Amino acid sequence: MDKKPVPTHVGIIMDGNGRWAKAHGVPRVMGHNAGMQSMKKIVIATSNMGIKYLTVYAFSTENWKRSTEEVSGIFNLIVKYVNSELEELDENNVHINIFGQYDMLPKASIDAIDKMVGRLADNDGLVFNIALNYGGRDEILRSVRKLCEECRDGSRDPADLTEDDISKYLWSGSANFDVPDPDLIIRTSGEERISNFLTWQSAYSELMFTDTLWPDFTPEEYASMIEAYANRDRRFGGREEAETK
């Protein structure tokens, strides 16, 4: 891996916790707990491979449709994760951003997230983005509304708007985030769609899918996918050099 290029930014749709729990005959929240352990390993592996940005899909705007028990269990795991991993994240110089309106979560979860984000704010190692109460279309709508407000008050001319203006008001461009678009998006559990994840930002992302359920996704399989990425030819809508001659 040292001699091959690695992506700057990887996005992961962590899918399969529920199916893992069903296969093991345990409550769904236990599947999410197992998924949290997998996430911890992948965060470490990401940093070790020299990847600068990692964004994981933790809770979508659509996940509120799940049972109250499951949703509450997920939020309790957020508190557990912060309490158990904060010291190690800080020691490893990890910086955390939250993509999404997490102020709608229970107060205990909000307090834990605020504690984590504040503690790690000055770190300049791996930038770990957690998409929480996040939806890609909602994010685009949020950006467009802000631009409409600026056009309405006369500070912008609609005719001069660019793609960069929209990107600026996405979660990835907000405040001091300035997170580049993902080079690679991985989805576990056999589903082959992006499910409203980084909808705008993933326009030219490489996509990879695996049948492995998220709790069973190992750093070794992750590394093999990163190596496969290094062998892909990314043309961003252009043509191969041989074709242009």
- R_g (Cα) of the chain, nearest Å: 19
Choose, from 2, 17, 48, 63, the residue flagged as catalytic: 63
Q: What is the DSSP letter of 244?
A: G
- C-alpha to C-alpha distance for 154 and 140, rounded to whole angstroms: 21
> If we measure between CA atoms, which residue out of 56, 109, 105 comes closest to residue 217?
56
Choose, from 2, 15, 48, 122, the residue flagged as catalytic: 15
Q: E strands along 27-150, which residues?
A: 53-60, 95-99, 127-134
Neighbours of 143 (CB within 10 A): 20
Q: Tokens in use for 188?
A: 């576990």
- Which residues does 127 contact at the CB level (< 8 Å), separation at least 6? 52, 53, 54, 95, 96, 97, 179
Is 15 a known active-site residue?
A: yes
Q: Tokens in use for 131?
A: 């998409």
Neighbours of 167 (CB within 10 A): 17
Is 92 a known active-site residue?
A: no
Task: Report, as residue numbers or ranges, the catalytic residues.
Answer: 15, 63
